[in-house]
Amino acid sequence: MGNYRFILSGGGTGGHIYPAIAIANELKRRYPDAEFLFVGAKDRMEMEKVPQAGYRIEGLWITGLQRKLTLKNLMFPLKLISSLIKAGNIVSRFKPHVVVGTGGFASGPLLRVASGRGIPCVLQEQNSYAGITNKLLKDRVAKICVAYDGMECFFPKDKIVKTGNPVRSDLVEIRNEREEALNFFGLDPNKSTLLILGGSLGARRINQLIAQELDYFKGLDVQLIWQCGKLYYEQYSKYASDQVKVFDFLNRMDDAYTAANIIISRAGAGSVSELCIVGKPVVFIPSPNVAEDHQTKNAEALVAKNAALMLKESQLETEFETVFSTLFESKAKQNELSANIRKLALPDATKHIVDEIEKLLNTV
């Protein structure tokens, strides 16, 4: 049977959206005649990104709870009831065979309704510290696909499958033609290259750090590929030079990774999974502003396995140059981190997640 129907729900951030799209693409590859529907939160980035990937999406009137008392929080019960009603209508109309949730508040009402009607549901948890929506759904779903060890402290052990996080296929098949990649960026093959990643929108504190340390990097004769993000490009593009290449967004991530000797990055789940596959020495600077401090916990999971270094934003002023210089000057340390982070790579994550979904199709 190839005419299955799948609903995928997750959003709010790229970390929830892109895994859902990757899973849909693999399902579509196996079942070309299947029907797909995404369910997201109105006014969030999934309403734009999912149609760009070629899939239909419907939006729920739902937002997360704020940490302090706000008007948005007072509206939450009304939004939740509205979303549960709309999710019920979507499920009744579309009649999915399996529902997949990748986290984010939109997946809560949808999987709550679908599981209540006996439809098999799969959760995909990207982080080392489970998100609140997925924790609330844990007893209602059939399978929970995770990327880290030790997740039984959040989820029932018998439902957990360690699959890893979906990553872009171009990274799984990353080339090692470094000179060609450096030529693309107009950089010198005889110099060390530092790649700075702050996410698609950019990371304010990382950008401030790099601008402040440009003379330090020049003293080390290090050249930079600096993704400062769309929000900050106008502010930081003035620092571009022969040795400092500044981008709002990197369309050729495979070349950026290939060119790099060392990487500075945020520690979102998707970034961490990609960097494990890339296998270069990484200094993580986690964002302290994400829910439940996910990024710090993701980075700590790698630091505990001697697979990366981590600096908190509060340590940058006093410790950055010491930590970076120690890493830069020690090829042995760079090789050690590279070898250890590569051991954590799970490049076939998307296939393994869809294998679990296929097992559920055999029960419907």
- Sorting pLDDT into bands at 50, 70 and 90, what band is 286? very high
- Sorting pLDDT into bands at 50, 70 and 90, what band is 103? confident
Dihedral, 274, 220, 322, 286 alpha carbons, nearest 10? -30
**pTM of the full predicted structure?**
0.85
Q: Which residues pair with 146 in a beta bridge?
A: 125, 162
Average pLDDT, integer, range 282-293: 89
Q: How far from each other are the two terminal CA atoms of the chain, in whole angstroms?
A: 11
Average pLDDT, integer, range 132-146: 94
Average pLDDT, integer, range 137-158: 96
Average pLDDT, integer, range 260-285: 95
Average pLDDT, integer, range 337-356: 96
Give per-residue pLDDT as tens, 210-250: 999 999 999 999 999 999 998 899 999 999 999 999 999 88
CA distance 248 to 241: 15
pLDDT of 69 strictly over 80? no
Annotated binding site for UDP-N-acetyl-alpha-D-glucosamine: 13-15, 127, 168, 200, 295
Radius of gyration of the chain (CA): 21
Q: In the chain, what are the domains?
A: 5-167+347-361 (3.40.50.2000), 170-343 (3.40.50.2000)
Burial of 283 (0-12, 13-18, 19+ CB in 10 A): buried
> Is 159 in contact with 228 (CB distance < 8 Å)?
no
Residues 6 or more apart whose Cβ sits within 8 Å of residue 106: 9, 10, 11, 12, 39, 40, 41, 44, 46, 59, 60, 62, 83
Q: What are φ and ψ of residue 343, in 5° steps?
A: -65, -25
Distances, alpha carbon 251 to alpha carbons 25, 170, 184, in Å: 20, 11, 12
Cα 158 to chain centroid, rounded:
25
Distances, alpha carbon 138 to alpha carbons 149, 155, 199, 354, in Å: 17, 6, 29, 19
pLDDT, averaged across the chain: 91
Q: For the chain, what percent of residues have pLDDT higher than 90?
A: 72
CA distance 307 to 339: 8
pLDDT of residue 167: 85
pLDDT of residue 105: 81
pLDDT of 320 strictly over 80? yes
pLDDT of residue 196: 98
Average pLDDT, integer, range 296-303: 95
Annotated binding site: 13-15, 127, 168, 200, 295
CA atoms within 13 A on the CB side of 61: 11
pLDDT of residue 174: 62
CA 80, 82, 88: angle at the middle one, nearest 5? 100
